[in-house]
Amino acid sequence: MMKLELVALAIWMASILGGECKVVQFIFGDSLSDVGNNMHLSKSLAQASLPWYGIDFGNGLPNGRFTNGRTVADIIGDSTGLPRPPAFLDPSLTDDLILENGVNYASGGGGILNETGGYFIQRLSLNKQIELFQGTQRMIINKIGEEKSRKFFQESQYVVALGSNDFINNYLMPVYSDSWKYNDQTFIAYLMDTLEGQLRKLHGLGARELIVFGLGPMGCIPLQRVLSTTGECQEKTNKASSGFQWSLKQVTG
Ligand SMILES: *[C@@H]1O[C@H](CO)[C@@H](O)[C@H](O)[C@H]1NC(C)=O
């Protein structure tokens, strides 16, 4: 009995003295998860600054999200009760805010591959987002020390949601060399190889709870439907989505 009480006391003391960190999210993504990074990339052509973006969110004005309301990452985060992480490029971001809320590195136009979305001029690729995360880690280590940082980053949740742009703003566009160097199968294999390396890198940096999103039926987005005279979904593009989905299951399963 005595022993149990001592243990309970020790845990209680540790939580007081140790200043337990909160569980937060780090989000890597594209326009489906961007919460304002591109807004701060002044030369980027991928901007959610037109009217109607944000009409069902906050004050109803464009806020950097490529949607009328919440992003998919917002919705999933809200359902798990975790705070919504602020955009990495938000000038008001501080180390205290990161410890409380995590960070969102997602950038409209960004892809798994470096070259994806090149014609948007500025966007953060997944590799770039991971580099920025490494900078965030250094900042937090300086603030709370190695040991507490390791625990903080291992207990955090990581969302990786990219891939659509690698098709829509790369492989399916004849201006990119990937569109003639690969076929559907070899391109998906190339994407999976790259993504696997990136997930391993995040794991090496301490990520333990990784959530990797698949792709929606990309052939049904307006940008694809205008390519057919009838306005129908693009079958080839939807096939690519399912191919990606299937391969992703092999990599993450
Ligand atoms: C992609 O860019 C990163 C820097 O962000 C670089 O380290 C890496 O070598 C590049 N990969 C390829 C395949 O060009």
Please state the φ and ψ torsions of residue 22, each to the nearest 5 degrees: -80, 160
Is-above-0.85 flag for pTM? yes
Segment (H or E) for 211 = strand 209-212
Residue at 193: amino acid letter: D
Q: Which residues pair with 212 in a beta bridge?
A: 160
The residues spanned by each domain of the chain are 2-213
Averaged over 133-156, what is the pLDDT?
A: 97
Q: Which of 123, 127, 132 to mutate to test the pocket of ligand 1 (most atoms within 8 A of CB)?
A: 127
Confidence label for 179 from pLDDT (cuts 50, 70 and 90): confident
Q: List the residue whose alpha carbon is closest to atom 11 of ligand 1.
A: 114
Confidence label for 54 from pLDDT (cuts 50, 70 and 90): confident
pLDDT for res 76 = 85
Averaged over 32-49, what is the pLDDT?
A: 89
pLDDT for res 231 = 87
As given in the structure block, the two tokens for residue 201 are: 């890198």
* Count of CA atoms in the C-beta half-sphere (13 A) of 237: 28
143 Cβ below 6 A of ligand 1: no
pLDDT digits (tens, 9 = 90+) for 66-94: 888 999 889 988 998 999 999 999 999 99
pLDDT for res 114 = 95
Q: Which residues pair with 87 in a beta bridge?
A: 104
Using CA atoms, how far apart are residues 104 and 133, in angstroms rounded to an integer? 9
131 Cβ below 6 A of ligand 1: yes
Q: List the residue whose alpha carbon is closest to atom 14 of ligand 1.
A: 114
